[in-house]
Amino acid sequence: MDGLSKARLLALLIPAGLLGGAYISQYGFGLYPCEMCWWQRYPHFAAIPLALASYAVRPARVWVALAGLAIITSGLIGGFHAGVEYGWWEGITGCSKLPGEIDVMDVSAAPLVRCDVAPWDLFGISLAGWNFLISCLGGAAVVALAAYKK
């Protein structure tokens, strides 16, 4: 398998696998996404059709590289979100406000899921942190393989 074939496969499997894991955790285990979790999903939604386009539209390397950049974008959003969860910096949305800062009369301001609290972690790394690691490393591999010519 050449570099482009590997890149195409990774560009499909990484976002599909991470989105699949997100939906399994959401519907199978009740870990509902916060606003920043959704932000991480959007680039993965874009990466899949970009990767599929690489099979039908030339030049394939460009489509694969764009998919890889979308995957990296999701990872960077995940890194920011993980930093909010770990308390390294403040979030930029209403879902990271403290309960005392929310106007109880304004139901629309009350978040359903907090962005600054990790609902689950593995080895001390939250889901957003895992997305950061997998997406940044995997996306970089996709871009590198797409750029590599025999």
Q: Examine the pLDDT at 15 and tell me if it is beyond 90.
A: yes
Please list the residues that pair with 122 across neighbouring strands. Answer: 125
pLDDT for the residue 108? 56
pLDDT tens sequence across 66-79: 999 999 999 999 99
pLDDT for the residue 126? 94
Give the whole-angstrom CA distance, residue 68 versus residue 8: 9
Please give the residue that has the higher pLDDT: either 98 or 20.
20
pLDDT tens sequence across 129-143: 999 999 999 999 888
pTM of the model: 0.86
DSSP string, 60-108: HHHHHHHHHHHHHHHHHHHHHHHHHHTTSS--SSGGGS-GGGS-TT-GG
Is 126 in a helix, a strand, or coil? strand
Domains of the chain are: 3-147 (1.20.1550)
pLDDT tens sequence across 99-129: 555 554 454 554 478 888 888 889 999 999 9
Give the whole-angstrom CA distance, residue 62 versus residue 76: 21
